[in-house]
Amino acid sequence: MRDLFHEELEQINLNLVALGEQIKVALDSATHALLTADLALAEKVIADDSLVDNTQHQLDAQTIDLMARQQPVASDLRALVTSLRMSADLERMGDMAHHIAKLARMRYPATAVPPELLLTIQEMGRVASKICEKATGIIKSRDTEAAKSLEKDDDEMDILHRKLFATLLDEKWAHGIETAIDMTLIGRYYERFADHAVSISRRVYYLVTGQYYSEE
């Protein structure tokens, strides 16, 4: 019975990894759609968000069913509770990709991002993608050192976020309030995407050690 339990527990972890990989694809596609005004790609990300939601619901149902059948304690219970929280973080990351794609669609056929912010948004997308890939790897490996190091990648996102705001607040900004609001929202979506990935890394650290770590 215990062998079967741990096989099911491992399958839940593999499903979390698969969900993380699915979300990275969504984020990369949403960024590309945003920067190139690719309506078809934006529509695909928007449509596929329901698949992310369904995957999360199935994953949570699988986790809760295992908890009910096995009534785990100690580290096994911690693993299952952590799984529920990580799946919620991943679903929210999927929502951020969905929001980015919706903004790309809303501004079509124009490109939503003005020229002076193209490189900044492109870099925010790159960093978010890197963070998602690392967080997914951390779920798979349960590497506590990698989990702690993800904070540094999030610092990179925070710097880009501040850079974006500096451009929006510059007196030379010539694109009006509506575009400024769009860019404020986009910056927030990427920042929150990264924050949820950091939350996942902290949960993995807790799963392995039974302790939380604080930012240095």
Domain presence at residue 216: no
Q: What is the pLDDT of residue 214?
A: 64
Alpha-helical (H) ranges within the chain are 2-36, 39-70, 74-107, 118-141, 144-169, 176-209
Q: Is 152 exposed, middle or buried (0-12, 13-18, 19+ CB in 10 A)?
A: exposed
CATH number of the domain at 202, please: 1.20.58.220
Q: Cis peptide before 109, with omega less than 30 degrees from 0?
A: yes
Please check whether residue 117 lies inside any domain of the structure.
yes
Q: What is the pLDDT of residue 215?
A: 53
Does residue 105 sit within a domain?
yes
Say if 215 falls within a structural domain: no
pLDDT tier for residue 45 given thresholds of 50, 70 and 90 = very high
pLDDT of residue 216: 47
Q: What is the domain range of residue 138?
A: 2-209
Assessment of whether the complete model's pTM goes beyond 0.85: yes
How high is the mean pLDDT of the chain?
Answer: 94
Judge whether 214 lies within some domain: no
* Sign of the torsion formed by the C-alpha atoms of 152, 153, 154 and 160: positive
> For residue 112, what are the CA distances in angstroms to 28, 46, 97?
16, 16, 15
pLDDT digits (tens, 9 = 90+) for 157-210: 999 999 999 999 999 999 999 999 999 999 999 999 999 999 999 999 999 998
Structural domain count of the chain? 1
